[in-house]
Chain A
Amino acid sequence: MQSAHGRLSLFVALVLCVATLVFATFVPPTHAILDTFTVQTMVGADTTPPSIPTNLVATPIAPTQIDLAWDASTDDWLLSGYHVWRDDILIATTTAITYVDTGLTASTTYRYYVTAFDSVFNESASSTEVSTTTPSVPEPPDEEEIRTTYGTRLSLGKQLVSLEVVPGQYGAVLRYTTRDAIRGVVRYGESVTYEIGSLREQAFLRIHETSIMGLKPNTEYSFSVEGELISGRYGVMHTGNFMTLPVDDVFAPGNVMNLEAEESGDGVVLTWENPNDADFDHVRILRSDRFYPTDTADGWLVYEGDGEAAYDKGAALRDGWRYYTVFAYDTQGNISSGAVTAILIGDAPPPETETSTTTPLVLTFLDIQFFQEGDRIASQSEHALIDGSKQLTVSVPYDAVPEHLKTIILEVRDSADPSRRAQFLLRVDTAHTAYTATLAPFGIAGEFPVTLTVYDFATRDLGQVYGMLDSRITFTEGFDEVTFFEYVIRTAYLVLFLALLALLVFLGRRLLRTGS
């Protein structure tokens, strides 16, 4: 009885230690992050205009250009922008505090002022007016000088202060600064003839930035930075080359799953599940009344975006079949083979499915190849075992099907729920070696009957191949996420806990012995 309190406390200490250890070791940590902001609204009439813009400066740059700059206004609620006036005529509305006025006449004086306005269009009084005169048109450049300086063009190399070329995968950005204000031109192409085109600036600037788009990845391009001086002289500042970046990812994303079409009102509601590719970007849905669209420009565009539902308004106004193909895009521009579905509106007859007898299909399940993470899955007569947690690529060798075929469609059904089925297009690869489709992970275990149907150019069913995919789910990734370091730390905690426990027991027993 005398040591009952001590034993109780030891027990409490033990429970606390064990609870702490268990909690810290086995309960996964969660991390939260907060951000606090305000939402404000004004009740009451806003009759207060913004403050008057100040320090308006007008700088003549060229015979046809005057640059304007001013200090920002403030408003008691929400400043919306500025009006720029030239000779009492409103010439621009802008949210910036600079404006480049072009298309002017040489040797002409212009008068400017600026006003600011708020969200209910209260307008400030005018800023201080400024006047300036555009320079006169300079003498035309000496043609002889142009010929002798740089071939048939003048060299303006000394005008170029700095140049930076930032290539991307499908374009490049050229940033450069010039000593004087210049109207820059960038010409580019795959050769020094700069055959692709040119990009010309509209205003005379000292700081330039030109974006070139529509280039091919991993390709060398030549470029020429040229420009026109205010004096009218035109010349070359720099020539060079750059290489666009290679595309890291050339693999198509998986197709969308569980694509369904349902008539609703005068339209069709489409629902699907986007693939789980980390670089998935968006889907593009096309519709055709004749057959499944087979490429991204075949048919009527229904939807483009990263959602998982769309409404094809007007698609149910007429009877007949509506065929849909959903292409998934990744951020690199790779495109999936396409998931397909069709819906019959009204009582129109089903599409012609007469089997052609002219070119019988000679194809078996064993001709269909299945790949996961680059490894081919061994298939038996009409059966293949797949990992349901991984993407599945289905491939039919190009030579295994008739040359004149139009479409190959793979249908996958869930034997546990026959109403769930998904169809996918198999598209020929660029090397014309195979027709392929990549399916997102099934995500569940079970048996999935598959049907591969081959259609010819007249949408006639040439034949079908049947088989079964046996999906198994493996659980191996969870282990990989626990590192060796974590094991060491957890073991250290256990040792520490045992040491503390031993110390507590030792001290407790010593106290008891001393007491007795």
Chain B
Amino acid sequence: MYGLRDSLIAGSLALIATPILLASLSLASAQVMTSANYQIHQDSINFGGGLSTSSSYTLESTAGEVATGDSQSTSYKLRAGYQQLDRNFISLSAVPPVTMAPPIPGITGGTANGTTTVTVTTDSPAGYELSIAASDNPAMQKGGDSIADYAPLGDPDFIFTTGASDAHFGYSPSGADIVGRFKDDGGACNTGSFDSDLACWDGLSIADAVIAGSAGPNVPSGTVTTLHFRLSIGSSVVQASGTYTATTTLTALAI
């Protein structure tokens, strides 16, 4: 009986103590506030101060801090007090919906293109990683109909190629920070150091695929990555007409 009581009480203590410890850690070290296009973390416990908000920014003021420094105009960077030494800020610009054009005739086939850009800004000393994933498999869906994801053999294809009997949806990232998989030597991908225009195509997947990253901070201007999307329907494919949608998620990770 004692053993059972011991077990119950000690187990309960473990169950209680661990969440308390976890809660205390998270309360004191990092509370994250996010919106569609910004993230503020490392909130702090202070006496005085408070939150000032508008539709486009949130600023926390603090009171009773000793050190201040690093203010910078025209580039929205301000650090004051002890938080100035925190280095894991990251932001991801909001990406508007992409409407590909032109519409593709369902019988004769054709190609539609769409482009968008995303800016990642971080002051993390170790840099960041930007990855992309689709919500569905295949990504492009319309009710019960779908269009296959572009599927290169191994490395991305330097040229987007779709046969007469195929229909594919793919993407190609470009920018200063794209990973080696999407760089090229002018004829092949995952080799060389070029970022050729509209080259190195891959298909979306429900698993995150890293498309860009850096080994250091890029504040205050951040780094722009351009995402080209392409959907091509072969001439002998009869694709059900309608609007197809690929719900896509970009994830920026401060390393």
Contact = CB atoms under 8 A, between A and B. Distances in A.
Contact of A12 (B11, B101, B252): B11
A33 B252 contact: yes
A481 interface: yes
Contact of B41 (A31, A481, A497): A31
B7 A309 contact: no
Interface in A71-86: 77-78
B95 interface: yes
Interface string B221-247: 100000001010100000111111111
Interface string A486-504: 0001001100110010011
Contacts of B103: 41-46, 77, 119-120
Contact of A4 (B3, B89, B100): B3
A21 B21 CA distance: 8
Interface stretch (A151-159, A194-202, A508-516): A508-516
B57 interface: no
A: contact size bracket: 35 or more
B195 to A, nearest CB: 6
A32 B219 CA distance: 17
Nearest to A331: B221
A291 interface: no
Given A9-B10, A39-B245, 18 more contacts: A2-B1, A13-B13, A29-B30, A30-B254, A31-B88, A33-B252, A34-B250, A37-B96, A40-B97, A43-B105, A44-B241, A77-B103, A78-B101, A119-B101, A307-B194, A311-B186, A492-B28, A515-B6
Interface of A: 1-10, 12-13, 16-17, 20-21, 24, 29-46, 77-78, 119-120, 271, 276, 278, 306-309, 311, 331, 480-481, 483-485, 489, 492-493, 496-497, 500, 503-504, 507-508, 511-512, 514-516
A6 B7 contact: yes
Given A36-B247, A36-B248, A37-B96, A9 B7 contact: yes
For the residues of B in contact with A, the DSSP-based class is mixed
Interface stretch (B47-55, B112-120, B153-161): B112-120
Contacts of B243: 40-43
Contacts of B99: 40-41, 77-78
18 contacts: A4-B3, A5-B4, A5-B7, A6-B5, A7-B6, A9-B10, A20-B18, A31-B89, A32-B252, A35-B37, A35-B118, A35-B249, A36-B135, A37-B250, A38-B98, A42-B112, A306-B176, A500-B21
A480 B112 CA distance: 51
B: contact size bracket: 35 or more
A41 B7 contact: no
Interface string B101-131: 1111110000010101010000001000000
B195 A307 contact: yes
A309 B192 contact: yes
B253 A44 contact: no
A240 B233 CA distance: 63
Contacts of B176: 306-307
Contacts of B112: 41-42
Interface centre among A12, A33, A120, A504 (most CB of B within 10 A): A33
A6 B5 CA distance: 7
A30 B124 CA distance: 10
A39 B6 contact: no
A36 to B, nearest CB: 5
A515 B21 contact: no
A483 B67 CA distance: 12
Contacts of B96: 37
A8 B229 contact: no
Interface string B24-46: 11001110101011010100000
Contact of B90 (A6, A24, A33): A33
B119 to A, nearest CB: 11
A493 B24 contact: yes
Interface in B8-27: 9-11, 13-14, 17-18, 20-22, 24-25
